[in-house]
């Protein structure tokens, strides 16, 4: 709940106005029960315990990279489902990559998160709680958030919007919307709906192909909306927010890494204020995709730059801890199942 919603709710419970600020503040601290709200009257804590559900995360596994300090969390939710989150350290501060759903229904063929489909949407507090916990566990202030973990944020639209409102709230974590990125596989109506809010966030679009043929072969969402429709939505979105759009392009050997692809991509994005983020594809056990060699990746970038595009190759973080999304959850859930099956 946002403070303006919390206030009438607490009023209904016969509470004075100043309680709103108190309760909202507590909800930013990562508490796991209402009883921890120690400056609230005992009877109010009991009523909250009865009427409300705290859907915070608890750690199932935590992996720390020896290479670059990246921390990967596998969280357990109140119903036993699991999600992944990553804390990354950059020169400008700490970034948390959060999940927005348990699993994902989009079915991109290179991605481990969607292998078993969608289990359920995350609540706004389950998203917020990933940011709170990472900051608290490491004793740091989180300056940036990327909605790039497991799940498709625009397929959980209302909760993603509410998360943005909560995480940027001045009485809450107060993380500026300019420091938040939302990544989508390209749900076109969702992009238009998001434009209505005109949030100054960075929209990140997982393009991965310069044309419908290739895109359809790796992303089922491309069968629903064409590349042309997607790019038009991006152009329209940009008219509203005037913010640079970021295009994610996972380079997969032999699929989308040719020089022709780079040229086609540059033509497609011409005139759009954007940045291309080249991601060497992360191999996933369940598929046979590989990343191209370094030379080919560099060549792809050079081609884009020669055509006037702004492109960078994403630095790999946490390479020693399965930091790419969806893989840790699969492994640990299998382990837990085996343990559970033991007599």
Residues near ligand SF4 (CB under 6 A) are: 104, 106-108, 111, 113-114, 150-152, 185, 206
Q: Which is nearer to ligand SF4, 70 or 206 (CB)?
A: 206
From the list ligand SAH, ligand SF4, none, which binds 126 (C-beta under 5 to 8 Å, kind-based)?
none
- The span from the CA of 91 to the CA of 341, in Å, is 45
List binders of ligand SAH among 11-40 (CB under 6 A): none
Q: Does 311 bind ligand SAH (CB under 6 A)?
A: no
Q: Does 281 bind ligand SAH (CB under 6 A)?
A: yes
> Under 8 Å CB-to-CB from 207, ≥6 apart: which residues?
186, 215, 227, 230, 247, 248, 249, 265
- The span from the CA of 132 to the CA of 288, in Å, is 36
Which DSSP string do the residues of 173-235 spell out, in sequence order? Answer: T---GGGEEEEES--HHHHHHHHTTT--PEEEEE---SSHHHHHHH-THHHHS-HHHHHHHHH
From the list ligand SF4, ligand SAH, none, which binds 114 (C-beta under 5 to 8 Å, kind-based)?
ligand SF4
CB of 54 to ligand SAH, least distance (A): 26
CB of 18 to ligand SAH, least distance (A): 39
Active-site residue 325, yes or no? yes
- Both tokens of residue 197? 């809010």
- The span from the CA of 190 to the CA of 184, in Å, is 9
CB of 132 to ligand SAH, least distance (A): 20
- Both tokens of residue 286? 């369940």
CB of 335 to ligand SAH, least distance (A): 21
From the list ligand SAH, ligand SF4, none, which binds 83 (C-beta under 5 to 8 Å, kind-based)?
none
Q: Match 């359920």 to its residue by tokens.
A: 120
Q: Match 């598929």 to its residue by tokens.
A: 287
Residues that bind ligand SAH (CB under 6 A): 108, 110-111, 148, 152, 183-185, 206, 248, 250, 279, 281-282, 284, 324
Could you list the active site residues? 84, 325
């Amino acid at each position: 709940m946002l403070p303006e919603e919390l206030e009438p709710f607490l009023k209904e419970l016969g509470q004075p106005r100043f309680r709103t600020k108190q309760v909202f503040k507590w909800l930013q601290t990562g508490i796991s029960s209402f009883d921890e709200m120690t400056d609230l009257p005992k009877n109010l804590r009991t009523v909250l315990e009865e009427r409300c559900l705290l859907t915070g995360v608890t750690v199932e596994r935590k992996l720390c990279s020896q290479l670059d300090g990246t921390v990967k969390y596998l969280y357990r939710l109140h119903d036993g489902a699991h999600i992944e989150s990553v804390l990354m350290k950059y020169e400008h501060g700490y970034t948390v990559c959060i999940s927005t759903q348990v699993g994902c229904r989009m079915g991109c063929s290179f991605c481990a998160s969607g292998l078993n489909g969608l289990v359920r949407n995350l609540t706004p507090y389950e998203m917020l709680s990933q940011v709170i916990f990472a900051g608290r566990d490491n004793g740091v202030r989180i300056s940036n958030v990327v909605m790039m973990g497991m799940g498709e944020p625009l397929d959980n639209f209302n909760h993603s919007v509410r998360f943005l409102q909560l995480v940027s709230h001045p009485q809450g974590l107060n993380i500026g919307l300019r420091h938040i990125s939302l990544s989508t596989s390209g749900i076109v109506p969702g992009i238009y709906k998001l434009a209505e809010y005109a949030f100054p966030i960075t929209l990140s679009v997982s393009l991965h192909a310069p044309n419908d043929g290739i895109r359809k072969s790796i992303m089922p969402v491309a069968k629903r909306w064409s590349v042309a429709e997607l790019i038009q939505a991006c152009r329209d979105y940009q008219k509203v927010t005037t913010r640079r759009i970021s295009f994610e392009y996972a380079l997969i050997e032999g699929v989308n890494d040719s020089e022709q692809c780079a040229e086609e991509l540059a033509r497609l994005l011409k005139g759009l204020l954007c940045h291309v983020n080249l991601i060497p594809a992360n191999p996933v056990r369940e598929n046979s995709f590989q990343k191209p060699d370094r030379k080919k990746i560099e060549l792809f970038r050079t081609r884009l730059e020669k055509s006037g595009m702004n492109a960078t190759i994403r630095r790999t973080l946490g390479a020693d801890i399965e930091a790419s999304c969806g893989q840790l959850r699969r492994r640990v859930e299998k382990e837990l199942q085996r343990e559970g099956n033991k007599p």
